[in-house]
Amino acid sequence: MERVISVSLGEVVLKGKNRKHFVDKIIGQIRKAIADIGFNKIYKEMGKIYIEADYKNFDIIIERVSHVFGIIYISPCVKVEKEFSEIEKAIKLLVEEKLEKEPSIKTFKALTKRSDKNFPLKSTEINNKIGGYVLKNFPLKVDVHNPGLYIYCDIKTSCYIYLERVRAYGGMPVGTNGRGLLLLSGGIDSPVAGFLMAKRGVQVDAIHFHSYPFTSDRAEEKVLNLAKIISTYTGNMTVYSVNLLPIQKEINKNCSEREMTIISRKFMVRIADKLSEKFGYDSMITGESLGQVASQTIDGLNVTNRVTDRLIFRPLIGMDKVDIIEWSKKIGTYETSILPFEDCCTVFLPKHPSLRPQVEDIEKSEEVLDIEYLVNEAVENMKIVKIKQEV
C-alpha cells in the first residue's frame, strides 16, 4: 500500500499523435512547480500522471500542481495491488480518515473505471463489491444521486483508490500556443486576461506603462506584484516597464483633450508591437471589455486595431465586470489590483473623452506628433524586470 497523487488530464488527451508532446510538457511543468518541495517519482499510467512524494507534502504539492494548465483534477490516492483484499484495506484507511474529519457524512457511492480490461470483474461488479464492504463496515448508506462521499477506484496496472478530486483549471500547457505580450496595468482586468491566455497555452510576458514621477514607485511595485501572482500559473515572466509620460505630454500639448485617451492607447499598442517584433512575440493580449471605458467602444477598438497587423487577443471582450472580478478573486489577483495606486497619470485624462473616435480624424490629429521618435525613445529608456515563478 502506497500513497500517491493522481493527475487527470483535460483536452490534451484528444491530441492524437501530438499527445505525448503535450503530456511531456505538463510533466515538465509539474516537475518545475514542485522542485523545491521534492518528490520521488513522476510517471504515466493509462491516461493519468502520478506523483510519488512524501505524504506530509501532499497538500502543498496539490496546490502547486493545480496551477499547471492542462490538468482538470488532482487526487490523493492509495495505490495497491489488484487484489480485492488490498482494495478493501485502502478503502478502510481512506474512509476512516474521512469520517474522522467529517463525521456528518451519511451516504456514499462507488465509481470504478476499469482501464485494464483483463481484470476479471467488470466495473459494476467492482462497485457492488465495494458497496457491500462499506455497508458492512461503516455507518453509511448508498445514495447514487446525491452521495456525501464518492469512493473512486481506478483499475490499471495497479489499483488506485481515492475519495477526492481537486478541481484544476484545464486548458493547454503553457508554451504550446506561441508567445504573447500582455499589456499589464494595475487594474483588475489585464491580469485576468493574461491568465486566460496562458490557460490556452500562450507563454505570457508583460509590458507595463507608467507616468513616473507623476505616478509613484508603489504603483510600479503593485504591477510587479501582480506579475508575480500571474507567474504562479505561467512560469517565469519578463516585464518591460515603459514610461509613457513624455508621450502623454506631447499629446496633451498638441492634440485635442477629448482624444487624449485613444491616442495614448494607440501609442501603447505601437510600443507593444515594436517589442513584439524585437523579441519574437506572436501576439498581444489586452484586458479590454467591450464598452467598459471610452477607448473600448467599437470605434475605439477599431482605431487601435489599425496600429498593428499582429494578432491582439482580448479574452474578456464579452465579459461583464462582475465576471472579471470573480475570475480575479479566483486566481488571487483581486486584492492587489484594488490597491489605490494608479499606474498611468490621471492628470491628462479628459473629463469628456471621445466615445466614437474615427480612424481618419485620429490619424489627422497625430500628424503633428513625431510618432517614430516618441516610440523609439520610450523603448530605449524602458526598464526590463525578470520575474521568477512564484511558488
Alpha helices (H) in the chain, listed in sequence order? 19-34, 58-65, 84-101, 123-137, 189-199, 217-234, 245-254, 260-279, 298-305, 321-331, 334-337, 359-365, 371-380
C-alpha cell recorded at residue 382? 524602458
Q: Is 296 annotated as a binding residue?
A: yes
Question: Which residues make Cβ contacts (< 8 Å) with residue 110, sequence separation at least 6?
Answer: 126, 127, 130, 131, 134, 150, 151, 153
Q: How far is CA 300 from CA 283, 293, 315, 352, in A?
A: 19, 9, 17, 14
Q: Does residue 67 have a known ligand-binding role?
A: no
**C-beta separation of 113 from 153 below 8 A:** yes
CA 136 remoteness from chain centre? 44
For residue 251, the Cα-to-chain-centroid distance in whole angstroms is 36
Q: Are 255 and 222 in contact (CB under 8 A)?
A: no
Rounded Cα distance between 184 and 229, Å, is 12
- Check whether 275 is labelled as a binding-site residue: no
To the question of whether residue 287 is assigned a binding role by annotation, the answer is yes
Q: Indicate the residue type of 56.
A: K
Q: Quote the radius of gyration of the chain (alpha carbons, Å).
A: 26
C-alpha 68: how far from its chain's center? 8
Annotated binding-site residue? 352: no
209 is an annotated ligand-binding site residue? yes
Terminal Cα-to-Cα distance of the chain (whole angstroms) = 30
Which amino acid would we find at residue 27?
I
208 annotated as belonging to a binding site for a ligand: yes
Binding-site positions read 183-184, 208-209, 265, 287, 296
Binding-site positions for ATP read 183-184, 208-209, 265, 287, 296
